[in-house]
Amino acid sequence: MKYVIELNFRNGVHFGSDVAGYGVEDVQGIAHSDTIFSGLINTLASISHIFNQKQWIKNLLNKTINEDNIYVPFRVSSFGFVDTSQSSHRYFIPKPLILPENLIDDKQKYEFGKEFKNRKFISIETFQKWQRNEPLDLKAILDEDKSLFWVEESRTQNVTQSVSHAAQIYHTGIVFYLKDIKPFFLLDLDEEEFSFDDFKKLMDVLKYNGLGGRRTSGCGLFDFSDNDWFCIDIETAKEQRRLNPSFSDQKIPGRARFCEMFKIKSEFYYIFSLFFPDDVRKLKSIAYDLTQRKGWSFSSSSYEQLKRKTCYMFSEGSIFASELRGNLVNVTPQEFNKHRIFRNGLPFAIPFCEKIK
């Protein structure tokens, strides 16, 4: 079953930028799928005793089992955004990394193509038209689709050296989401192995642990309740309310569009996550970008902080013309032996348009 999970952040967030800054810790408003996955797995490790010792959890936490043989019963997307300012909530996802071919006027490719290429997100209404190869009006999309979801603030920090006690000043970034904007991610859950009630238990702990960095400063903490999720695969509002009495009518159009998105039949796939293929030679790529993933490890069972191994992954919005099989990526530092540290390279794929020239 597939779900939409919305997050209500109480304060700012700190998600490190994909592009390193100079003299400042640059940030971005999007949390990648491996960041969300890492938060969930760290939480799972700390409360694994309440899940009756499920075998897949034992395998995941067992550092002797090869990562190719580890099964995780859920996949998560990266962040999208929901605009709650209107009577019907509007959902936005990362823009595919190609220009649409079917436009209402071919001149638009030259007039608005560059500006459209620089857009990071599109509404799911626009994505659906693209899926169905309907003519797109780039000017209308640029005018009507929201493009600003967060603002960034730079804060001055200081650190005291342990030997000389000299103070060193540096700057760090904090992201604040706009008033009517909430991040969301998609969840694909194998409920035979892990029920949605179990997943909600994870979220109830994760909301106090937080996502991203600077959590000891109050960043990354969020609220999560039954108002903040719905099942994509359940079609009627009556059935939704039977599953979740807090389901809001404002979410009905968005749920229907998500459901239709996954019903498209296509040989092309759009990824709404980072992706690390198990065999890159078998991939047929149409358009892609690469994201470098590095940084410091965090563990709920160890106080050590070490640099993780660096890896590259395909970015959100990449398009492929082949079946997508991903892997967990072992990025455990050589000197760390308490447990293994993984990056989530499992793709969250959505069928794309029926034909691409």
Inform me whether the pLDDT recorded for 28 exceeds 60. yes
Task: Give the residue extent of every domain in the chain.
Answer: 2-265
The runs of H, that is alpha helices, within the chain are 33-46, 55-61, 108-111, 113-118, 124-131, 138-144, 196-209, 237-243, 252-263
Q: Where does the pLDDT of residue 23 fall: very low under 50, low under 70, confident under 90, or very high at 90 and above? A: low
* Six-digit token string for 310: 């660096």
Give tens-digit pLDDT for 150-191.
998 887 777 777 777 777 777 788 999 999 999 999 999 999
* Lowest-pLDDT range of 76-90, 255-269, 291-305: 291-305
Q: In the predicted model, what is the mean pLDDT of residues 100-113? A: 86
User: Does residue 72 sit in helix, strand or coil?
Assistant: coil
Q: 281 — phi, psi (to 5°)?
A: -70, -20
Full-model pTM? 0.91
Q: Which amino acid is at 148?
A: L
User: Does residue 182 sit in helix, strand or coil?
Assistant: strand
Inform me whether the pLDDT recorded for 225 exceeds 90. yes
Cβ partners under 8 Å of residue 228, min gap 6: 5, 6, 7, 8, 182
Inform me whether the pLDDT recorded for 8 exceeds 90. yes
Q: In the predicted model, what is the mean pLDDT of residues 118-133? A: 94
Q: Residue 146 has what pLDDT? A: 85
